[in-house]
């Protein structure tokens, strides 16, 4: 059972592709509102985003260690992250930021947070990461720019109703995804999972296009 779980975890980014397909079927055939469809489109894109970051071409793990944690350590065995912490962080973030609004549509601030975070992904992948890396591509760029961004552009130009929100709703949305980011990627649980053995990054997953 443990080996089966480890195999599942160590291929979480590959499994994400199949989950994207499953969610796509729901989006196509289920009777949904336009907001729900946009949330599902974001979920589909994020699953593909995970595959781009960790599956092919991969390399987000090292980029995260280098840019977000400020370390140039090239031995992935010494990182406080692995496939288990990565699965927890990424899937957990997806559930709280993008799936939760599907089940509590009355709390529109959750939907606002999801659509705002799509733009945050654009800012990070198109500008922040590329400027700091001094290159024109980083793992996750394609799905962020051509997937998440058009979804939010459509939401804010064709669906968004500003009269539904007051100024502090935007602040609450930012605080919500900031808290979820901490919970999923900076909390003691994340670091504890990152030290568990049996869930190592492969060279492709860890470094991808980066030259060690």
CB–CB of 85/186 below 8 Å?
no
State the pLDDT at residue 160.
96
State the pLDDT at residue 2.
67
- Cβ neighbors of 55 (< 8 A, separation 6 or more) are 13, 14, 16, 17, 205
Per-domain boundaries in the chain: 2-207
pLDDT, one tens digit for every residue, the chain (212 residues)? 668 999 999 999 999 999 999 999 999 999 999 999 999 999 999 999 999 999 999 999 999 998 888 888 889 989 999 999 999 999 999 999 999 999 998 899 999 999 999 999 999 999 999 999 899 999 999 999 999 999 999 999 999 999 999 999 999 999 999 999 999 999 999 999 999 999 999 999 999 976 54
Residues 37 and 116: their CA atoms lie apart, in Å, by 16
Taking the complete model, does pTM exceed 0.85, yes or no? yes
């Amino acid at each position: 059972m443990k080996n089966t779980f480890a195999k599942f975890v160590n291929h979480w980014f590959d499994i994400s592709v199949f989950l994207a397909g499953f969610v796509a079927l729901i989006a196509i055939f289920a009777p949904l509102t336009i907001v729900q469809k946009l949330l599902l489109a974001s979920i589909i894109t994020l699953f593909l985003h995970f595959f781009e970051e960790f599956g092919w071409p991969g390399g987000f793990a090292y980029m995260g260690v280098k840019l977000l944690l400020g370390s140039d350590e090239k031995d992935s065995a010494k990182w406080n992250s692995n496939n288990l912490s990565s699965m927890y962080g990424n899937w957990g973030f997806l559930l709280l930021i993008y799936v939760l609004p599907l089940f509590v549509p009355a709390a529109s601030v959750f939907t606002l947070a999801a659509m705002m975070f799509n733009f945050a992904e654009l800012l990070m992948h198109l500008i922040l990461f590329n400027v700091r890396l001094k290159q024109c591509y980083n793992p996750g760029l394609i799905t962020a720019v051509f997937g998440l961004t058009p979804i939010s552009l459509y939401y804010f130009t064709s669906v968004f109703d500003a009269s539904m929100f007051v100024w502090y709703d935007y602040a609450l949305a930012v605080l919500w995804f900031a808290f979820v980011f901490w919970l999923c990627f900076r909390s003691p649980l994340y670091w504890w999972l990152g030290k568990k053995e049996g869930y190592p990054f492969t060279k492709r997953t860890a470094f991808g296009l980066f030259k060690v």
